[in-house]
């Protein structure tokens, strides 16, 4: 009976979650980031309050967590729903609904393929590695996914605004510039995660988990590659081709499963990490080729090359000169993170306008420090 009741709660939560996500999507399309932040903070606050109330106070355990999830969907959905109705007049268009349904079905089915990519390795690894190795891989994978979490903050906005951006007369220039900025940001974040992973593991986890560190760079690289694919794959939706998005996802899923079955039995957790990297490389490659055929675009090749050179110039010394002591690891990581933007500056990566903007920000910060009462 307890399991059945939990399933009822799961299904009961789906409807308000669907409504909430639709409202948050509307806010992104309408370019209302302030209201979007309020909605997400309300969701977070309701979750925390619900967990404290239902789990800590009433001690409902798993059911308490489900009650908190239901409340976290209902409360912000109700608030944002009222806000939406105050701003626009509600109406129903059957033709538009059918068009949206046809558009969404391929994307919904591709969710199964994404599940296979993300979690298929866990089911296969259990047959070939120890639980200790599985725990190390799980930790390394979570750290590698930090790149995806950081990119998601940008993708949430980009996926909603890309339709308007690509209709502009200067869409080609804006797309190229945004691609450069995205690549730069992902490269810097990935580099920072990799070089900080060893000292972070020493500070935050038990010594038994320190062995996860060698796997992290490969997984971080995999998710950096995937972020590039996610960026360009939005063009499938702009051009009204969700089927291409679904097909590329299922191809990547098939490659992923094949790589798991071939590489995990022989190489264990390293095989799983390599299979993930191969999958995202194929996924991104297909996305780049197909989106370019559907909607040709250009990139700032010379600036992207400078990012690659700077990244290689910092990554090679990190791999070639391992450091063991914690203070040395922190100092080494700080030096490498600082060297990356320094090398880009020396290679004249910033444009004239970007240099002026950086100088303006630096002057503003300097003035704030000069006016600070704590100076």
pLDDT tens column, 47-89: 999 999 999 999 999 999 999 999 999 999 999 999 999 999 8
- Choose between 349 and 90: higher pLDDT: 349
Distance CA 276, CA 147 (A): 14
For residue 316, CA distances in Å to 185, 221, 308, 312 come to 19, 14, 12, 6
Token digits for 353? 């306008």
**Coil, helix or strand for 126?**
coil
Residue 276's pLDDT band, with cuts at 50, 70 and 90, is very high
What average pLDDT does the structure give for the chain? 94
Residue 368's pLDDT band, with cuts at 50, 70 and 90, is confident
The per-residue pLDDT for 369 is: 72
Single out the residue of 100, 133, 145, 165 nearest to residue 267, CA to CA: 133
Q: Are the C-beta atoms of 272 and 263 separated by less than 8 Å?
A: yes
Quote the percentage of the chain above a pLDDT of 90: 90
Residue 338's pLDDT band, with cuts at 50, 70 and 90, is very high
Helix, strand, coil shares of the chain, percent, nearest 5, are 85, 0, 15
Of the chain, the end-to-end C-alpha distance in Å amounts to 64
The per-residue pLDDT for 375 is: 55
The per-residue pLDDT for 177 is: 97
């Amino acid at each position: 009976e307890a399991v059945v009741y939990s399933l009822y709660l799961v299904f009961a939560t789906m409807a308000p979650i669907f409504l909430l996500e639709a409202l948050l999507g509307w806010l992104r399309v309408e370019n209302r980031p302030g209201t979007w932040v309020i909605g997400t903070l309300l969701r977070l606050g309701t979750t925390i309050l619900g967990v404290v109330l239902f789990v800590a106070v009433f001690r409902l355990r798993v059911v308490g967590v489900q009650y908190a999830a239901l409340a976290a969907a209902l409360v912000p959905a109700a608030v944002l729903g009222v806000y939406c109705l105050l701003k626009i007049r509600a109406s129903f268009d059957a033709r538009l609904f059918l068009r949206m349904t046809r558009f969404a079905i391929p994307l919904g089915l591709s969710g199964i393929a994404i599940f296979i990519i993300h979690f298929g390795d866990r089911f296969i690894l259990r047959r070939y590695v120890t639980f200790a190795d599985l725990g190390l891989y799980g930790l390394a994978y979570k750290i590698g996914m930090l790149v995806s979490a950081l990119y998601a903050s940008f993708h949430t906005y980009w996926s909603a605004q890309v339709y308007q951006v690509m209709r502009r007369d200067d869409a080609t220039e804006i797309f190229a510039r945004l691609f450069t900025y995205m690549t730069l940001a992902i490269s810097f974040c990935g580099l920072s995660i990799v070089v900080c992973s060893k000292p972070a593991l020493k500070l935050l986890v038990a010594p038994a988990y320190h062995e996860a560190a060698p796997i992290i760079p490969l997984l971080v690289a995999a998710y950096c590659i995937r972020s590039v694919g996610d960026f360009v794959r939005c063009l499938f939706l702009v051009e009204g081709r969700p089927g291409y998005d679904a097909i590329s996802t299922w191809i990547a899923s098939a490659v992923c499963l094949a790589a798991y079955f071939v590489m995990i039995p022989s190489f264990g957790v390293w095989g799983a990490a390599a299979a993930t990297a191969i999958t995202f490389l194929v996924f991104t490659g297909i996305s780049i080729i197909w989106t370019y055929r559907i909607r040709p675009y250009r990139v700032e090749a010379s600036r992207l090359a400078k990012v690659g050179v700077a990244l290689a110039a910092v990554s090679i010394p990190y791999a070639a000169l391992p450091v063991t002591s914690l203070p040395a690891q922190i100092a080494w990581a700080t030096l490498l993170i600082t060297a990356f933007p320094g090398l880009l500056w020396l290679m004249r990566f910033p444009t004239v306008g970007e240099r002026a903007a950086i100088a303006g920000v630096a002057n503003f910060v300097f003035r704030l420090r000069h006016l600070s009462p704590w100076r």
